[in-house]
Structure 1
Amino acid sequence: MHLNHDTDAPAADPISFDDFLRVDIRIGTIVEAAPFPEARKPAFKLKIDFGPTIGVKKSSAQIVERYMLEELVGRQVAAVVNFPPRQIGKFLSEVLTLGFADAEGAVILFAPDRSVPNGSRLF
């Protein structure tokens, strides 16, 4: 998936509220972070706990420019949990971890400013 870092881009075409509700964005806690040296673009392999209903899911995240592995475990992040899994090399990414580009184009993770239960859904 190509990330658009263009802050001057116009807003996307309007969608219905029902369309928005079809995208299932949940909060989870990173329980494991590992290097992903075989990725084409620098990335980490994450395991994220989304609570008892969704469970622990894997994600590849291109966040190596602003984060070190040691600081990721225990951090809450937002992710889309209902996209089909995506094969990235030999790694199966099950959720899309969400972030925004900073002024230099590096990805900054999207997370709540206070702790919320794993599995909480964005609304």
Structure 2
Amino acid sequence: MHVTHSAAAPASDEISFDEFLKVDIRVGTIVAAEEFPQARNPAYKLQIDFGETIGVKKSCAQIVTNYPIDELPGRQVAAVVNFPPRQIGPAMSEVLTLGFADSEGEVVMFAPDVKVPDGARLF
């Protein structure tokens, strides 16, 4: 499946509300971030705390351009937590951190504008 990240991309095919609910999007707090020089595209390896039920999960995120690594711990982010883990080079990514492309095509993370409990689900 090819996904277009541009604002000019047409809307995707219509889905049912039940299909949408199958995608489990949660908020978590980044607790650690490290450089990921082995990645094909510049990326960080993140550890994100999704609260007691889901716990801390790993994610590889191509957010280097817009986010200095030392500013990441403590930030809340949204992620899909029910995709199967995916091998990214030598690392395993357990969740998909969500973001939008800015005008330069670089990722801007999707996050609540007010702190919410880690593990809160998007609805």
Cα drift, residue 101 of structure 1:
0.3
Closer/same/farther in 2, CA of residues 25 and 90 from structure 1, 3 Å limit: same
Relative to the length of structure 2, the TM-score reads: 0.97
Cα drift, residue 106 of structure 1:
0.6
Q: Which runs of 5+ in 1 are unaligned?
A: none
Provide the residue aligned with 1:109 in structure 2: 109
Q: Which runs of 5+ in 2 are unaligned?
A: none
After TM superposition, the structure 1 = structure 2 runs for residues 39-50 of structure 1, keeping only pairs within 5 Å, are: 39-50=39-50
Distance 1:92 1:118 in 2: 22
Provide the residue aligned with 2:73 in structure 1: 73
The SS at the match of 1:29 is: strand
Distance 2:103 2:49 in 1: 30
Provide the residue aligned with 2:6 in structure 1: 6
Cα drift, residue 4 of structure 1:
2.4
Q: Across the two proteins, how many residue pairs are aligned to each other?
A: 123
Distance 2:42 2:2 in 1: 14
Cα drift, residue 8 of structure 1:
1.1
Provide the residue aligned with 2:99 in structure 1: 99
Cα drift, residue 5 of structure 1:
2.5
Distance 1:69 1:61 in 2: 11
After TM superposition, the structure 1 = structure 2 runs for residues 7-86 of structure 1, keeping only pairs within 5 Å, are: 7-86=7-86
Query: Structure 1 stretches (4+) deviating beyond 2 angstroms?
Result: 1-5
Distance 2:87 2:43 in 1: 14
The SS at the match of 1:53 is: helix
Q: Percent identity?
A: 71
Distance 2:45 2:101 in 1: 19
